Amino acid sequence: MIISLVVIAIVGYYTYKWILYPLYISPLCKIPGPPPDHFLLGNFVKIFKEEVGHPQIKWTIDYGGVLCYRSLFNRPRVFITDPKALQHVLSTNVYDYPKPKMAFVSSVVGNGILMAEGEVHRRQRKMMNPIFSYSNVKEMIPSFAKVAHTLKDIWIEKLNNREDIIDIVPYLSQATLDVIGIVGFNYQFNSLTTTNELATAYEMVFHPKNRENLIIRILSNNFPMFEKLPIKSNIQKKEALKIIHNVSENLVRERLEEAKRGELQGTDLLTMLVKINEQAEEKMSFDELKNQIMTFLAAGHETTSVATGWALYYLSKDQESQSLLREELMEEFPDKNFVPTFDQINDLEYLNAVVKETLRIVPPVPIVVRKPKKDDVINGYVIPKGTPVFISPNTVHRLPSIWGQDADDFKPSRWLIDSSFVITAPDTSMGSFSDSNLVDDKPVTNYTWMPFITGTRNCIGGKLALNEMKVLLAVLIRNFRFREIEGFEVKRKMSITLRPDPTIKLWVEEMEN
């Protein structure tokens, strides 16, 4: 009898928690959204099985800019694309909507500026803003070009050996890791030319090789116990993270010792950060500095390499756009071994258009999550404390209501000055895009085009990433023609970034001078 009552109580508790409350009682039920596809799994299966972003785009069209869907065990997910709602969360009340703690993300990027909250974030952001200024980014351009030409020479050698199909993804990842090594720490990783344990470690944590690893990662975000299971993928990830932590600690320790000896010199990000920290009233601890380095390493190379890879992929499918870009580059840079200036690379209209359109179609950070610290109201809907609020540039960037019926098409021309398309109130903190535009009489603002998010917590390294991507593309398109491989399908895979699945392989042909 007692056992039966216990079983009934348990069943009743979870029936209420997983079905009755989320589907019929919660104030979130008043928010429009799709009905659950399964009595217990909510809409999770649809999101997991369909192509990245497609369900959310359809739901936004059907239910509006603030909607609610259900994840595992019918857990509510508020999904916002409405500009007013986005401004409310990302700008007006930014520190009332902290990021949820995600063990995997924190283990890779550390608890630096990317994960810091409240006063800690304000203090770190104030200290770090100067090192990402335009004047400092300008000085990085030759370093970007140096690595880009190293990559170019490696590919030319492959072509000379009759290897004309190249998997571009690992090369771009190694190139951007080398860039962040130079401009971030004045350190030569040389991952393009030698085997590098740090590059291998990031390959493991960023690019799960099979479906099992991906499932474990998703489950770990909801149930941390899965991350502790003694299985192969978890063991490999643990070893990779150990390498990342050790490299970060060593870089900081070396620079602090240089500072003690009065030998601190250079303009790399870490040196400047240590100098600023020495003069700060409230200094960053060793662990805080290490966490910033982990953030630089992870975010500083993964997002740029993925975005550059997608740009080459879409240009391989759009030979007309690729040719227009190459003509612009060859006119500006007759010498194939050119090293551009900051002004040269940012004055190229069609290169700017290609970069903007790539970041629209495949934003580096496809989705972010916030959780309100207290009950709140968004566009008239009550949002209880702790409710996950999902913000997806990947969805916003593909809405026909903003971008037209060709929203899914890669179309750089939509950004040209003589087109009907423009950006209003540009967020110059994200890059050197100062155009002002309009689409079908509907303004495109920082809340409808936000590849690096927007507001107080936008990506602090956005200017660096944009200019690095431009220089990489300029060198590669100036020197090579890229063509897609017939029958080789590339899909978008949700990870920390929108990864190509399985990879991007292209026909590559060297251009004559």
User: Crossing angle of helices 168-185/462-479, nearest 10°?
Assistant: 130
- Tell which residue, 43, 68, 18, 117, has the closest CA to residue 382: 68
| Contact of 452 with 393, CB cutoff 8 Å | no
Q: Does the N-terminal peptide bond of residue 502 adopt cis geometry, omega within 30 degrees of 0?
A: yes
For 490, left (φ over 0), alpha (ψ -120 to 50), or beta?
A: beta
| Contact of 350 with 442, CB cutoff 8 Å | no
| Contact of 100 with 429, CB cutoff 8 Å | no
Nearest-angstrom CA–CA distance, 466 and 48? 30
Nearest-angstrom CA–CA distance, 92 and 485? 47
Write the burial class of residue 463 (CB in 10 Å: 0-12 exposed, 13-18 middle, 19+ buried): buried
Nearest-angstrom CA–CA distance, 204 and 239? 10
Distances in whole angstroms, Cα of residue 262 to Cα of each of 6, 242, 255, 269, 289: 69, 30, 10, 18, 19
CB neighbours of residue 265 within 10 Å: 10
For residue 165, what are its two tokens? 């199909």
- Tell which residue, 216, 226, 235, 211, has the closest CA to residue 493: 211
To the question of whether residue 459 is assigned a binding role by annotation, the answer is yes
Q: Are strands 438-439 and 442-443 parallel, antiparallel or unpaired?
A: antiparallel
Sign for the pseudo-dihedral over CA of 353, 307, 175, 327: negative
CA 20 to chain centre: 36
Annotate 247-309 with DSSP letters as a single string.
HHHHHHHHHHHHHHTT-----SHHHHHHHHHHH-SSPPPHHHHHHHHHHHHHHHHHHHHHHHH
| Contact of 333 with 474, CB cutoff 8 Å | yes
**Residue 208, SS3 per DSSP:** coil
Nearest-angstrom CA–CA distance, 419 and 464? 27
Strands (E), 407-452: 438-439, 442-443
- Tell which residue, 394, 307, 414, has the closest CA to residue 355: 307
**Residue 492, SS3 per DSSP:** strand
Nearest-angstrom CA–CA distance, 389 and 266? 42
Instruction: Give the residue ranges of the annotated binding site.
Output: 459
Q: Which residues are annotated as a binding site for heme?
A: 459
